Amino acid sequence: MNNFIPVNSPLIKEREKELIIQCLDSGWISSEGPFVSEFEDKFSKKVNRKFGIACSSGTAALDIAMAALNIGPGDEVIIPAFTIISCASAVYKTGAKIVLVDCDQYSWNVNPEEVCNAINEKTKAILLVHIYGLPVDIDPIIKVAKSKKIAIIEDAAEQIGGEYKGKPCGSFGDISTFSFYPNKHITTGEGGMIVTNEFDLSEKCKSLRNLCFKAGDRFVHEELGWNYRMTNLQAALGLAQLERLEESIEKKREIGNYYYQELKNLSLIQLPIKKLDYARNIFWVFAIVLSPKLGNAKNFMEKMRLKNIGTRPFFYPIHKQPVFKKFGYFKNDMHPNSEFIYKQGLYLPSGLNLKFEEIDRVVKVIKELCNLDKKNYV
């Protein structure tokens, strides 16, 4: 399938190759190399934080964040019903109770009022996840959380380079986390980052990602951690990607705006919000929600696959996950917006390597599948 358009393809340039060769030539290919600390320092500064802790994935970053905040049995953590399972898994592993909040039908992020209504005396933390390129309206939640001494964990994996009210996403949580998976605006192949302004939290996170080794008595352990380290090779790649983050954001917005212009007249497709009072969409992915008149997303995606176009489904709601049903969780949970957009939502090829002639092919197929005639136009 030489003409297949993948849902994502990372953009690797000469600078990445240059730094990786430097890394190989130096012999420092493990987590001990100098590129790791340089990446931590430059990335944390980019998002206006004092400390950065590089790790092996966004999932690892969430595990570390939960442990660093001492979340455990008897606590409750509020998270979105519409998010990747890593968020729920990180809470589950602590023994704390997962409290789910539905998403907004149009922004796909949690509604601040619903988050605040879910708070009780057992709430230890709120995990806020910015979805698909548009940030959560975070200020109202932070105001209440601070008044009740509730920790904020900000998952900005899909908002690298994004802003909320002119400030970098990732600068709002007590701890904020990022992912550098290949579909992100910065990739290290696999990788993640934790950022915070609190020295004690940063030291705790560093220890947890490194098996809680101690200085002096390295193999004597008072706590359990993980080997969640990032390698020097990965950090070299990340540094090169960080250097052109603004260029990547501009390209993503060009892709998003091009899709938007070509699809905006289709009345049977809901497009992502381009701009709100507090943020502009960075179009981490270009996501759409189908009218039920077009069938469900699963069938639509299969039709696109037959046309050699890759797509990806929306997140499966946490309360519907079989693994949690097996544990007896969420028996009475109902989150209709999360369920609807999962059933009807998908995202289109959106990678930084995407060419505009490829977008034209995608758009053409979508219009064909919508069986376009005048009745489908606004």
Tokens of 233: 């090779």
pLDDT, position 226 = 97
Among 155, 134, 148, 166, which residue's Cα sits nearest to residue 272?
Answer: 134
Angle at 113 between CA 110 and CA 119, to 5 degrees: 90
> What count of other Cβ atoms lies within 10 Å of the Cβ of residue 121?
6
- Greatest extent of the chain over all pairs of C-alpha atoms, in Å: 75
Q: Which residues contact 153 (CB under 8 A, 6 or more apart)?
A: 62, 65, 66, 69, 125, 126, 127, 128, 173, 174, 175, 176, 177
Alpha-carbon distance of 336 to 319, in angstroms, equals 11
Alpha-carbon distance of 296 to 146, in angstroms, equals 41
**Whole-structure pTM value:** 0.95
Domain 14-243, what fold?
Aspartate Aminotransferase; domain 2 (3.40.640)
Cα–chain center distance at 31? 24
**CATH classification of 245-376 is 3.40.50.620, yes or no?**
no
Q: Provide the residue ranges of all domains of the chain, joining segments of one domain with +.
A: 14-243, 245-376
> What count of other Cβ atoms lies within 10 Å of the Cβ of residue 120?
10
Alpha-helix residue ranges (DSSP H) falling in 264-335: 297-306, 322-326
The tens-digit pLDDT sequence of the chain (378 residues) is: 579 999 999 999 999 999 999 999 999 998 888 999 999 999 999 999 999 999 999 999 999 999 999 999 999 999 999 999 999 999 999 999 999 999 999 999 999 999 999 999 999 999 999 999 999 999 999 999 999 999 999 999 999 999 999 999 999 999 999 999 999 999 999 999 999 999 999 999 999 999 999 888 889 999 999 999 999 999 999 999 999 999 999 999 999 999 999 999 999 999 999 999 999 999 999 999 999 999 999 999 999 999 999 999 999 999 999 999 999 999 999 999 999 999 999 999 999 999 999 999 999 999 999 985 344 444
pLDDT, position 142 = 97
pLDDT, position 372 = 53
pLDDT, position 371 = 80
Alpha-carbon distance of 302 to 311, in angstroms, equals 9
Alpha-carbon distance of 128 to 303, in angstroms, equals 34
pLDDT, position 1 = 52
Angle between helices 34-46 and 232-243 (to 10 degrees): 40
Alpha-carbon distance of 349 to 332, in angstroms, equals 36
pLDDT, position 378 = 45
Alpha-carbon distance of 226 to 193, in angstroms, equals 15
pLDDT, position 373 = 39
Q: What is the DSSP string of 81-110?
A: SSS-HHHHHHHHTTTPEEEEEPBPTTT-SB
> What count of other Cβ atoms lies within 10 Å of the Cβ of residue 194?
33
